[in-house]
Amino acid sequence: MRAVITGQIGMDKKPYLEVVSQLAGERGGNIELFNVGKMMYAEGPDIREGRILDLPMSRLHSLRRAAIKDIISSTTPTEDHPDVIMNTHATFRWRHGLFPAFDFDQMEAFAPNLFICLVDNIEVVHKRLHDEHDIDATLKDCMVWREEEILATELLAQACGCRNSFYILSRGRHQDTTETCYRLITRNSLKKVYPSFPMSHVVDMPDILEEIAQFRAALAEHFITFDPADVDEKLLLDNGIEAAKQGKDWIQVEPHEFGGKGGDEPLRVSVREILDIAGDIDGQIYMRDFRLIDQSDMIVSLVPELPGGVPGLSSGVERELQHAWEHTKEVYVVWKPKKAPSPFITETATKIFTSVDEALEYFSEQGYFEMANLFGH
């Protein structure tokens, strides 16, 4: 696939995409990676690192066009360059204004057939942004910029005839989603799955969290998965509200299955800034999770049995199942409790299983698992 991959400033996409390209090489393939920002600096060797947005708009425009012109030239004819990544932005802010980071004529000449907008937890983006740039941005600013980047990328995809080839992809929490990105580019025919499971009310149940982690890993092994837990600020908000009640000005965000960033040091985050984005967090979770379902072929939901034999069926999981059914997706449920599921589950599910292994065996029988190549991938 010829992919245009975008993401807000602070995503640090370059090393992530370098790993995606390396995965292809290790498996006997080749993904050509072009980083527009790096190429713009190469076009203007007098520009100091991190100061490119201080340039006049006219020069920014000419540098970007020169970089993308080189990409088009280097990947033509397209049939000789089937797997290409253009790493760029859809938007940028210049002197407090919002501007597009592309020209339609060049995008048409590049002939993309896949668009991906990378996203990440907002507190992680906020930290990267301030580590790498001399900038004064709030969590609210970062939330707004993320929404702008998603919308602009989607509109660009539609304009390029790729309405059904636009994906929102989280960069990942405990490990980067480079395998998912690689599969989207090189094995796009794989089934795309939205894993559904309870989150908010099981954060302090380690046994349930482990069961959910194994479920997520099993699906990620065989499918292209769009996992809602890979980016979710709900735990950040809950912790911020609790800290406010205790009169705290800052919280330490620790790595968690549903929060923080695995492998990172705890982040120090302003409680006031968290409370300022409370409505944005809830609204964006609602929008993003439904969008992840819409870009999937099917939803697979795990309903664990909680202490006391209670089904771990949250209101969020119920709404996700309903949304998937209403949008004609395949709906699969792994029902673990001894208590029988309600008619609202049985009448909308394509099939119900009693274990993850039973579900995987069924998917294998249906031919949902693609054959491995000579390199075992």
Dihedral (CA of 307, 311, 315, 317) sign? positive
Q: For the domain bounded by 1-189, which CATH number is listed?
A: 3.40.50.300
Per residue in 334-346, pLDDT tens? 999 999 999 989 9
DSSP 295: T
DSSP annotation string for 334-346: EE-SSSPPPHHHH
Q: Spell out the domain ranges in the chain.
A: 1-189, 191-233+277-370
Please state, in angstroms and rounded to a whole number, the distance separating the CA atoms of residues 286 and 293. Answer: 11
What confidence score (pLDDT) does residue 270 get?
Answer: 95
The HSE-up count of residue 26 (CA atoms within 13 Å, CB side) is 10
Please state, in angstroms and rounded to a whole number, the distance separating the CA atoms of residues 374 and 6. Answer: 31
Task: Output 133 or 106, whichever has higher pLDDT.
Answer: 106
1-189 and 191-233+277-370 have identical folds? yes
| Amino acid found at 27 | R
pLDDT above 90 (res 148): yes
In total, the chain counts a number of residues equal to: 377
What confidence score (pLDDT) does residue 258 get?
Answer: 54
Q: In what order do the strands lie in the sheet with 351-353?
A: 224-225, 192-196, 298-303, 330-335, 351-353
Residue among 153, 288, 157 nearest 232 (CA)? 288
Please state, in angstroms and rounded to a whole number, the distance separating the CA atoms of residues 369 and 374. Answer: 16
pLDDT bin (cut points 50, 70, 90) of residue 375 is very low
What confidence score (pLDDT) does residue 136 get?
Answer: 84
The HSE-up count of residue 219 (CA atoms within 13 Å, CB side) is 27
Are 331 and 348 a contacting pair, CB within 8 Å?
A: yes
Helix, strand or coil, per DSSP, at residue 195? strand
Please state, in angstroms and rounded to a whole number, the distance separating the CA atoms of residues 297 and 195. Answer: 11
Per residue in 234-248, pLDDT tens? 889 999 999 999 999
Instruction: Give the alpha-carbon dihedral of 286, 289, 291, 295, to 10 degrees.
Output: -170
Q: Which residue(s) pair with 267 in the sheet? A: 253
Are 224 and 370 a contacting pair, CB within 8 Å?
A: no
Please identify which residue in the block is written with the tokens 């208590």.
339
Helix, strand or coil, per DSSP, at residue 97? strand
Could you confirm whether domain 191-233+277-370 is CATH 3.30.2270.10?
A: no
What pTM value is reported for the model? 0.93
Please state, in angstroms and rounded to a whole number, the distance separating the CA atoms of residues 3 and 240. Answer: 37
What confidence score (pLDDT) does residue 374 get?
Answer: 43
- Taking residue 329's Cβ as centre, other Cβ atoms within 10 Å add up to 20
β-pairing, 97-100 vs 91-94, is: antiparallel
Per residue in 244-274, pLDDT tens? 999 999 999 876 555 556 566 788 999 999 9
Please identify which residue in the block is written with the tokens 């990676």.
33
Q: Which residues contact 312 (CB under 8 A, 6 or more apart)?
A: 197, 198, 202, 208, 303, 304, 305, 306, 336, 337
pLDDT above 50 (res 147): yes
- Taking residue 194's Cβ as centre, other Cβ atoms within 10 Å add up to 26
Q: Return the axis-axis angle of helices 36-43 and 57-74, rounded to nearest 10°.
A: 110
What confidence score (pLDDT) does residue 123 get?
Answer: 93
pLDDT above 90 (res 174): no
What phi and psi, each to the nearest 5 degrees, are found at residue 192? -105, 125
Please identify which residue in the block is written with the tokens 């040091």.
265
